[in-house]
Amino acid sequence: MDTVVVGSQPTDLVRTGPDGRRRPGRTEAEAAVRTLIEWAGDDPDREGLTGTPGRVVRAYEEFFAGYHEDPVALLATTFEETAAYDEMIVLRDIRLESHCEHHIVPILGKAHIGYLPAGRVVGISKLARLVEMFAKRMQIQEVLTAQIADTIQEVLKPLGVGVVIEAAHQCMTTRGIRKPGVSMVTSRMLGSFRHDPTTRREFLAIIGSPRSAPHDS
């Protein structure tokens, strides 16, 4: 990712993304937050809000760090000494924090991942990191679920992959229809997890079948 200096201060860096699109610099981003504060009806120069634009921009750097990481490279390193292992590997209850791309409000929940290795086994922390990498982008849950499963299938080439996500969307619980306590369940089943009912049942039994039937994206 290339950077060019527009002004004399580091806060004026303007970045160019991999697709060549210009990304606003920090100064522009903070100015946009000030505009939103004013639009909401408050004074960005009052004591409690003077540092808010900077804090919001720094928070966005954390919330959306996944845009600057490569999920394929993350899974590239595998363990050769476990190549003979051919039973299902499951990592469940991975905490998930993302943001809805429609309203940029939190999606909070958990992800469950299972796969049947075919000679390539990856460290379990990499699976949790993969979830985080895709979650730290503006998302919809169906796409997030598919991205995780498809990347595992593409890189590790296992016999099958299963991903289930259960999450609450604050765009639904704190605004609009305002229905707290509602969770959404999505799944992506590939290979043997899709075509072999026994494998699918074993995976769902291990993770503890979600309270509602998963939607297979």
Q: Where are the domains of the chain?
A: 2-63, 70-216
pLDDT confidence tier of residue 185, bands split at 50, 70 and 90: very high
pLDDT confidence of residue 170? 86
**Active-site position among 153, 166, 169, 202:** 169
Q: Which of 30, 100, 112, 147 is catalytic?
A: 100
CATH 3.30.1130.10 fits 70-216, yes or no: yes
Residue among 9, 38, 102, 154 flagged as catalytic: 102
pLDDT tens digit sequence for 105-131 = 999 999 999 999 998 899 999 999 999
Q: Which of 103, 142, 170, 215 is catalytic?
A: 103
Mean pLDDT to the nearest integer, 90-103: 95
The three-state DSSP-derived secondary structure of 121-142 is CCCHHHHHHHHHHHHCCEECHH
CA angle, residues 52, 54, 59, in degrees to nearest 5:
90
Catalytic residue list contains 141? yes
Q: Give tens-digit pLDDT for 11-48.
A: 455 566 556 778 899 999 999 999 999 999 999 999 99
pTM, two decimal places? 0.85
Question: Under a CB-based contact definition with an 8 Å cutoff, are residues 133 and 66 in contact?
Answer: yes
101 catalytic, yes or no? yes
Residue 169 bears catalytic tag:
yes
Q: Does residue 112 carry a catalytic annotation?
A: no
Q: In the annotation, is 100 catalytic? A: yes
Which CATH number does 2-63 carry?
A: 1.10.286
